[in-house]
Amino acid sequence: MKVGIIGCGSMGSMLLDKFYAAGECELFVTTRTLSKLEGLPNDINVCKTNSEVAAASDMVFLCVRPDVLKNVLDDIKSAVSPDTLIVSLNGSVRFDLIEKVLRTKTAKVIPSVTAEIDRSQTLVCYNDLVTEDDKHKLKDLLSCMGDVIELAEDELGMGSELVSCMPGFIASVFDVMCTSAMEHTSLPKEQVVSMVLNTLTATGELMLKKGMTFGEVVERVATKGGITEVGSSVIYEQFPHTAQDLFEKTLEKRAQTAEKCSSLFTDDSIERM
């Protein structure tokens, strides 16, 4: 299979690395600043234009920010064949907007940074033109980064918060936790971080392997009248406000981005292929 990547920033270069390492497809790539692609292995095809990548590929990943997605779709629309699967990495631009420029087989894919260690829970959704065969091929390709989860388009926003943004939220929470712990210990910061991180991953694995709920973990550790119970109570009393605020703000930001994107797609006529 021939796979194209347009835009080689954070996500595009991660996909390129992963697909190249998996060694199961021929790769075609381009980006705005071509000098950034110097030094790639010889068996990766570097193309000069977006349309060149689209014309050469069975599947084209659009790894660009939402504000340039419309321009990229304009660049490639006359180069894609009806068999080409377009894959947008952006969750905010809806299929109906993409289809104003290019109505063809289209998927959206949201990977997580945990793909770096092959532990992504990559989200996918499809428009109505994508066939079961396309879905299998895309899922197979993405499985080199971890698990693949199919969601309805309307669930992609909250889904993205839970798997793609969550590494950032988790890192922020435990950064705060470690900073507070540092005020009460003379242990070096690296050791504090390492102890928390290892406990964090082990707790996750314990829950997944033993099928435990969060409540069951709390119950196992927080004996009545004990120290963990005191700390746990502080979290259950105070953290819900923060968590509520977080999701209200991120979902509001998501809606604003979607609104901004839709204004970029206003004057185009639908091109049916």
Ligand X SMILES: NC(=O)c1ccc[n+]([C@@H]2O[C@H](COP(=O)([O-])OP(=O)(O)OC[C@H]3O[C@@H](n4cnc5c(N)ncnc54)[C@H](OP(=O)(O)O)[C@@H]3O)[C@@H](O)[C@H]2O)c1
In whole angstroms, how far apart are CA 155 and each of 65, 67, 125, 152, 161?
Answer: 20, 22, 9, 5, 10
Residue 76: how many other CB atoms lie within 10 Å = 26
* Nearest-approach distance from CB 98 to ligand X, in angstroms: 12
Which residue has the CB atom at the shortest distance from ligand X? 9
Stretch that binds ligand X, among 5-13, 142-150, 191-199, 226-234 (CB under 6 A): 5-13
Name which of 9 and 162 has its Cβ closer to ligand X.
Answer: 9
- Rounded CA-CA distance 32/43 in Å is 20
Stretch that binds ligand X, among 65-73, 198-206, 230-238, 244-252 (CB under 6 A): 65-73
- Specify the DSSP class assigned to residue 272: B
Answer for which of 17, 24, 71, 96 binds ligand X (CB under 6 A) is: 71
- Using CB under 6 A as the binding rule, whether residue 146 contacts ligand X is answered as no
Chain centroid offset of residue 25 CA: 21
- Rounded CA-CA distance 63/61 in Å is 6
Q: Which residues from 21-60 bind ligand X, rule CB under 6 A?
A: 31-33, 36, 50
- Using CB under 6 A as the binding rule, whether residue 130 contacts ligand X is answered as no
DSSP-assigned letters across all residues of 136-180: HHHHHHHGGGEEEEE--GGGHHHHHIIIIIHHHHHHHHHHHHHHH
- Using CB under 6 A as the binding rule, whether residue 10 contacts ligand X is answered as yes
Stretch that binds ligand X, among 67-75, 177-185, 210-218, 244-252 (CB under 6 A): 67-75
The count of residues interacting with ligand X (CB under 6 A) is 25
In whole angstroms, how far apart are CA 215 and each of 9, 59, 147, 219, 225?
Answer: 40, 44, 26, 6, 17
- Using CB under 6 A as the binding rule, whether residue 157 contacts ligand X is answered as no
DSSP-assigned letters across all residues of 54-65: HHH-SEEEE-S-
- Using CB under 6 A as the binding rule, whether residue 253 contacts ligand X is answered as no
Chain centroid offset of residue 207 CA: 24
Residue 194's closest CA among 181, 212, 209? 181
- SS3 label, residue 122: strand
In whole angstroms, how far apart are CA 226 and each of 32, 231, 262?
Answer: 58, 9, 54
Answer for which of 4, 12, 157, 159 binds ligand X (CB under 6 A) is: 12
- Using CB under 6 A as the binding rule, whether residue 6 contacts ligand X is answered as yes
Name which of 36 and 189 has its Cβ closer to ligand X.
Answer: 36
- Using CB under 6 A as the binding rule, whether residue 89 contacts ligand X is answered as yes
Answer for which of 3, 4, 5, 7 binds ligand X (CB under 6 A) is: 7
> What character string, x for contact with ligand X (CB under 6 A) and - otherwise, covers 90-129?
x-------------------xx-x----------------
User: What residue has token string 């349309």?
Assistant: 51
- Using CB under 6 A as the binding rule, whether residue 260 contacts ligand X is answered as no
Answer for which of 3, 11, 73, 144 binds ligand X (CB under 6 A) is: 11
- Residues at the site binding ligand X, with contacts judged by CB under 6 A: 6-12, 31-33, 36, 50, 63-66, 68, 71-72, 89-90, 110-111, 113, 164
